[in-house]
């Protein structure tokens, strides 16, 4: 279980200056939206709890994720691997799928917990899925088992997300 979020240790990277591709706005506007520390803490704790249920016999890389819906409800997911590797389900997409199944279409924040040395960002497929339901300013808290945290805006992690405006 990760240590409590200490807002003094959460770091922010400078946002990239290129366009984020979502609505033609500069990525510099994609700074993490203010979300109460207790909400981010709750997301991290729920991600830690669900990570214990991850099925990762091949990679041994367990991941837990939690997303905050616009309704205020939290949805969780863990990675589920398959011997046919391409069929694996990432924790972040599992959490988003749970949110959508419950009727959510807008996400306000996310947390991802891994056992990696440094907090690990979501893969590209998961970032694109988060971008479908979250804004470029949506805070994404990355946490590892030692309690190291990085708080980034979704637009910093995926500055050129494909968006419906391209269709």
- CA dist list (Å): 33 to 107, 109, 136: 12, 9, 9
Whole-angstrom distance, CA of residue 49 vs CA of residue 39: 15
- CA dist list (Å): 101 to 47, 91, 95, 112, 149: 18, 15, 10, 20, 29
Cβ of 120: how many Cβ atoms within 10 Å?
17
Q: Give the catalytic positions in this structure.
A: 92
């Amino acid at each position: 279980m990760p240590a409590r979020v200490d807002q003094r240790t959460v770091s922010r990277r400078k946002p990239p200056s290129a366009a984020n591709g979502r609505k033609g706005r500069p990525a510099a506007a994609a700074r993490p939206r203010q979300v109460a520390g207790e909400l981010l803490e709750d997301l991290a704790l729920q991600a830690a709890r669900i990570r214990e249920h991850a099925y990762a016999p091949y990679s041994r890389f367990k991941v837990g994720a939690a997303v905050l819906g616009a309704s205020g409800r939290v949805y969780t997911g863990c990675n589920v691997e398959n011997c046919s590797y391409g069929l694996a389900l990432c924790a972040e997409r599992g959490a988003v799928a749970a949110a959508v199944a419950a009727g959510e279409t807008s996400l306000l924040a996310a947390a991802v917990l891994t056992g990696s040395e440094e907090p690990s960002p979501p893969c590209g497929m998961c970032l694109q899925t988060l971008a479908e339901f979250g804004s470029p300013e949506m805070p994404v808290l990355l946490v590892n088992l030692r309690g190291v945290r990085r708080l980034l805006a979704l637009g910093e992690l995926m500055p050129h997300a494909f968006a419906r405006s391209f269709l």
